[in-house]
Amino acid sequence: MGYHKTAANQKKHGVSFEEAKSVFYDKFAAQFYDKGHSDDEHRFLMLGFSCESSKLKKSVTIRLGEDVVGHFKEMSEGTGVPHQILINLYLRDCARQHRTIDISWQSNSKAISS
C-alpha cells in the first residue's frame, strides 16, 4: 500500500493499515453482511480486536457466487444463524483445519458412445 493511502487511512480511521489487517487473526471476531454497501458486490464488516487490542471494524469485499450465498441463506433459515456468520464460521474452520482445495482439472473418464 502506498505511503499516501496509508497516511490517509491512519488519519481517517485512527489506525495503521498493518494494525487493521491484524483483526483477521482475532479468533473471536464477528463478520456481518454490509447491505448498505453491497449494491454491486457482496461486502462485509468485521468486528474484532487488533494486535494492539484495539476494537476495529473492517469492511471486506468478497465475490461469491449466487449459488454459494443461496446455500448459506438456506442453512441460515434452518439454524437461525445469519448466513454471513455461517460463511465466516465455515471459512474459519477450513483455515483452522489447514484444509486445501484440489483445483486440478480431471478429464471425464466416461466415453461418449455413438
55: Cα within 13 Å, side-chain hemisphere: 2
CA 28 to chain centre: 14
At 74, is the secondary structure helix, strand, or coil? helix
DSSP 28: T
For the chain, the domains span: 1-63, 64-99
Over residues 62-96, the pLDDT tens digits come to 899 999 999 999 999 988 888 888 888 888 788 88
Q: What is the pLDDT of residue 102?
A: 85
Q: Which residue has the higher pLDDT, 68 or 29?
A: 68
- Closest residue by Cα to residue 84 from 52, 45, 110, 111: 45
Mean pLDDT of the chain: 80
For residue 31, the cross-strand partners are 46
Widest Cα–Cα separation across the chain? 68
pTM: 0.44
Over residues 7-23, the pLDDT tens digits come to 877 777 777 878 888 88
Does residue 54 register a pLDDT over 80? Answer: no
